[in-house]
Amino acid sequence: MPPILAMCAFALTLSISPGPVNVLTLSTGLNHGARRALPFVGGATISFTLLLLAIGLGLGAVAESLGRGFDLLAVAGAGLIAWFGYKLATARGSLSTTEAPIPSFWHGVMLQVLNPKAWGACIAAVAIFELQESPAHLAVFVCLYGVICFFGIGSWAVFGQQVKRVLTSPERLRLFNITLGLTLIVLAVALLWRSVLV
């Protein structure tokens, strides 16, 4: 029997903790409503769970063998995150319509595939729960993670939609968008620093 409670706690902790995917989901919920964030949430969830499955089936060894070549993922991922941060920080912030980007399903897919943090989390999960040794446990964990990840990331969209009630003027919305955009840029730099420069 797999350690289901530990698996659930691991999945929830990683899915709900702040990071580029969740900050983008928060901004989409804020600027466009939680429903408009669902394609991005779905793409990020599916991409992460497929990555987890692939690493559990042996892709982790391939990733580790790439060595410094793996840094290209970090550069591409940081670039994508920084681009979203820039677009968000420079959006005008109108309460009726906004220029803030609406990340798509494929943005969610790409962001997870290009995110070394996601790769690291998957490799850690496979190692901690010894998922390469048991295809049945891997299948259970992938299914659990898929559900928990969707609701964990999706909760940020709902939170963003609720925050909009407090941001009752275009100036407040613009300031919040600038803050979220700069946060994404800082996360991109931190990701690049940890993955490539250290």
Domain boundaries, the chain: 4-197
The band of 49, judged by pLDDT with boundaries at 50, 70 and 90, is very high
Q: How much of the chain is helix, strand and coil, in % rounded to 5?
A: 80, 0, 20
Q: Which amino acid is at 155?
A: S
Torsion region of 67: left, alpha or beta (phi above 0 gives left; psi -120 to 50 gives alpha): left
- What average pLDDT is seen over the chain? 84
pLDDT of amino acid 14: 85
- What are the angstrom distances between the C-alpha of 62 and each of 8, 54, 124, 143? 27, 10, 15, 23
pLDDT of amino acid 67: 60
Tokens 């999945």 label which residue? Answer: 11
- What are the angstrom distances between the C-alpha of 12 and each of 18, 44, 156? 12, 15, 13
This prediction has a pTM of 0.82
Angle, CA 55 vertex, CA 50 and CA 60 arms, to 5°: 145
Q: What pLDDT, in 10s, does the model give residues 88-113?
A: 888 765 555 556 778 999 999 998 98
Residue 116 has pLDDT above 80, yes or no: no
Higher pLDDT pick, 66 / 18: 18
